[in-house]
Structure 1
Amino acid sequence: MPPHFAPASDDALPIWPVWKGDALPDGAGTWPEASGFAAKPGEICLLPGADGALAGALFGLGEPARAGRERLAFARATALPRGCWRLAAIPAGFDPDEAALGWLLGQYRFTRYKGQPEDGPRLVAPEGVDAARIEAIAAGEFLTRDLINTPAADMGPDQIENAARDLAGEIGARIRVITGPALLEHNLPMIHAVGRAAATAPRLIELSLGDDGPLVAIIGKGVCFDTGGLNLKPGASMALMKKDMGGAATALGLLMMLARTGAARGLRLRLLIPAVENSVSGNAFRPGDVLTSRKGLTVEVNNTDAEGRLVLADAMALAAEDRPDLMISLATLTGAARVALGPDIPPFYCDDDRTADALSRAAMAVGDPLWRMPFWTPYEPQIEPQIADLDNAPSGGMAGSITAALFLRRFAEGAGRYVHLDIYGWQPGPAPGRPKGGVGQGARAILAALPEMLA
């Protein structure tokens, strides 16, 4: 079900958002105090009318200094009964756009394999909110979540291609797909090497939108399932590997947001997805193999489970040949990033301070957190083995997210500016607006920051 607001209605019931310690709205009477309402985050107090019918609700925001993301999603996801609701007031420090988006994100349910979405409470878009824009942003996030949540049996390289074709048709983008042995003919050897052992052929999916303006290249890692290859993962480590295409899913959601909000106007957008499954068979690539990339750099494979950077490298080298003004890579790339920052805060890497500052500010402003990490040049020797130009899995286990970013940066040469996001793509437990499961990270921050990133 696409995210949507309710049409304006005189019958919509009022919600009063209340900060802890603030005076209650006129007309609330003594009922909130008698029922113990304390305006704790997400707390709901249903208000009775004179006839005993439901007359409205108070919604607790907690303390302003500790406010969390997508606060109003609490109301959508928890105690409000079905019906049509409206915001009766906008208290100081309360962002109507963030509230409206949080409500829509709270509508999300993944029901492909179980049941139908319930018809929950609906919200009239708050006054001053661009409802169409908020719905477009939520729709892009829903697309990302649906793609990540779908198991690999139903979301392999061919289904990623189908999703890309559907999006291209909707937004008027051009699409090109290079599949199987044709990858070798088009000099994309590392994408082919990683994906050749799978039952479904590897491919490079390319979408292009716009003919004038700055060129923005977006590369999303599309490893639809990662067994680890011949360096086979333990079973427990494979449990979430359907999400290893989270970079591709986030990139497609971002492109939908850019197109539907109108932010794509005046830009040339190029989206590249190397879509593969890292499987095991007699022709799987091996530890110790040396691969020659599109760029001509040789790569010693010291771990077949560090495959994401290999497929990204060929796609990035292809994108860099057109000298984009900005290149962005999105990838569920390293466990090291999760150890450093946990599941909620993806690190990002960028050498240009102005671009990085714009992205950091936007991330905080729209509640899509990111944290800048360094391209630490003294670690470069760690990605340079003895018998090849590059090492895909440096030994030692330290600074794994940084060394992966340094590896990718070698293939971004030619781009005006380069930003790499090492995302997780998964919500490990339910939170406001973010049910357990697949989640987009970084797309809303990029959408908000892009004009300044290109300035």
Structure 2
Amino acid sequence: MTLPAGLTLDSTDALPLHVVTRADYAEWRGAQPAAVGTWLDAQGFDGSAYSALVVPDSDGRIAAAVIGVGDRLDPAAYGHAPYALPARSWRLVDPLDAAETAALQLGWGLGSYRFTRYKQPLRAPATLAIEGDVDAVLAELAACLRVRDLVNTPTEHMGPDQLEQVCCELAERFGAHIDVVSGDDLLRQNYPAIHAVGRASHRAPRLITLRWGDAAHPHVAICGKGVCFDTGGLDLKPADGMRNMKKDMGGAAHAIALAEWIMARELPLRISLFVPAVENAIGPDAFRPGEVIATRAGLSVEIDNTDAEGRVVLCDALVRAAEDKPELLLDFATLTGAARIALGPDLPAVYANDDAVAGAWLEAGARLRDPLWRMPLWRPYWRYLTSNVADIANGGPSRMAGSITAALYLERFVPAQQKWAHLDVYAWNDSDRPGKPTGGEAQGLRAAYAMLQAYAGA
């Protein structure tokens, strides 16, 4: 078995690793030999979160190490260890319960991650020897790293073609069915909104569909916004706003990773994955402000702003997904900067037309330390999407409630009886933090899987 960086199944020559919190540090310190206690005191170690210390033996060699954590159930609490400790193997010696052990293993794997496609890290991470039934944690880690890798890959190597290739590889690996509608076939098969956004690029827009599972199992449809690069279109983004727009397919990355995770763990679900993959480019055929475009739902949309393109490509995918009448429809999208203004970079905004679905996702997020925040589908704000020439506008002159109005736009394309939830996700770490290197990030993904795992069990 090939494991991700930072994890090993071989505990040979692994040194002891202690995990403490500031609250239990004094008790642990009191149980250590006098020489170790003297060393700890001399270093000022007190078990504070994100601290780490190597403990020497009497000959000056490394005898053990201790790391300080805050919340033992939070994987991020352990993310500092792989690069705070020497690059050798370590084995846990303190008793942790199953959930804490899983958090340690996941957090260590996340903390060890570096995006290495173009540049190798300056040093290898310390490795943690893991044992027992680790398949569940490794699948969880793989899903999170899949999101990071997809988002971190620049657009020249992660355009619509490459997203399609990723999905084709998954279909082959898991025996899933895949279908791709691209270019002008989008018009012939009634996906005009996806076509409109992507038609200016030299890389054809497409709708990628993957289906897997037993028809007897509950059906879950998953949509992900796959805007592989977003210039803003003719409503061009400024340079600083365009700089990281390789990440605008972060919703697709989440959707793909979630589908892969479900298939890898063989959850008793039937899934349909829909990824509208486009590049919002500038060219002679770019869609324009003021245009009225058609949609699969039969609703006309006036383009108020070409930089509000994500909701336009998603609306066709949502309509198609709902046509199969799944028991649950989820979508992930790096949809609005307004959500980041409201909640910051670490807290995705979740919208749902069903309280039980929203509650289950939020509960899973709180339990797994994968936080989300529910925002309201405040329907009086429909007035911000009024058009004088079409059924709906994709934006409006007001800067008020931008994340809410985007969610309301999507809801317009979801049948009233369809259970649906939408995650407005940043998919990005904007600064280096323990376990969270700058770049792509999975957010709300672990909670989504836990929610669906419970849903499958029910």
Normalised by the size of structure 1, how large is the TM-score?
Answer: 0.94
Aligned to 2:112: 107
Give the Cα separation in 2 of the matches to 1:8 and 1:131: 13
**TM-superposition CA deviations, 1:161-188 (whole Å, max 9, x none):** 1111122222222111111000011100
Q: Which residue of the partner structure matches residue 207 of structure 1?
A: 210
- 450 and 387 in structure 1: CA distance in 2 versus 1, 3 angstrom threshold: same
Amino acid at match of 1:108: Y
Q: Note the 1:145-294 alignment, pairs <5 A.
A: 145-212=148-215, 213-263=217-267, 266-294=268-296
- CA-to-partner distance for each residue in 1:317-360, whole Å, 9 max, x for gaps? 01111111100010000010000000000100012111111110
Report if the CA contact (8 A) 1:288-1:301 is conserved. Answer: yes
**1:3 alignment counterpart:** 4
Instruction: Using the aligned pairs only, state the percent identity.
Output: 47
The one-character-per-residue Cα deviations of 1:23-47 (angstroms, maximum 9, x if unpaired) are 2243444221122212121211211
**Who is 1:389 aligned against?**
391
Which amino acid letter does the alignment assign opposite residue 329 of structure 1? D
Q: Does 1:87 align with 2:99?
A: no
Determine the structure 1 residue equivalent to 2:342: 340
Counting matched residue pairs gives 448
- Structure 1 residue 261, shift from structure 2 partner: 2.5
CA displacement, residues 60-98 of structure 1 (integer Å, 9 cap, x when unaligned): 124x59x965211111132x1122111111368982211
Written as runs of structure 1 = structure 2, the 5 A alignment for 1:9-48 is: 9-22=11-24, 23=27, 24=29, 25-27=31-33, 28-48=36-56
- 1:144 maps onto 2:147 in alignment: yes
CA contact (8 A) 2:384 2:398 kept: no
CA–CA distance in 1 between the matches of 2:121 and 2:176? 31
For the 8 Å contact 2:384–2:395, the answer to whether it is kept is no
Answer whether contact 1:137 1:261 (CA < 8 A) is retained.
no
Runs of 4 or more off by more than 4 Å in structure 1? 91-94
Structure 1's unaligned 5+ residue stretches are none
Aligned residue for 1:425? 427
Task: Rate the CA distance shift 1:94–1:431 in 2: closer, same or farther, 3 A.
Answer: farther
CA spacing shift, 1:36–1:162, aligned 2, 3 Å = same
Helix, strand or coil at the partner of 1:206: strand
CA 1:393/1:453 → structure 2, altered by over 3 Å: closer, same or farther? farther
Equivalence for 1:327:
329
**C-alpha distance after superposition, 1:214-258 (max 9, x if no partner):** 111100000011111111111111101110000001111111221
CA RMSD of aligned residues (A): 2.0
Q: Name the residue aligned to 1:363.
A: 365
Where 1:106 maps in the other structure, the secondary structure is helix
Say if 2:75 and 2:106, in contact at 8 Å, map to a contact too: no
**CA distance in 1: counterparts of 2:238 and 2:223, whole angstroms:** 28
Contact between 2:9 and 2:131, CA under 8 Å: does it hold in 1? no
User: For 1:411 and 1:131, how far apart are their aligned partners in 2?
Assistant: 41
What is the alpha-carbon distance in structure 2 between the residues aligned to residue 357 and residue 206 of structure 1? 28
Residue 354 of structure 1 aligns to a residue in which SS?
helix
Aligned partner of residue 348 in structure 1, secondary structure: strand
The separation in 1 between residues aligned to 2:248 and 2:265, in whole angstroms, is 27
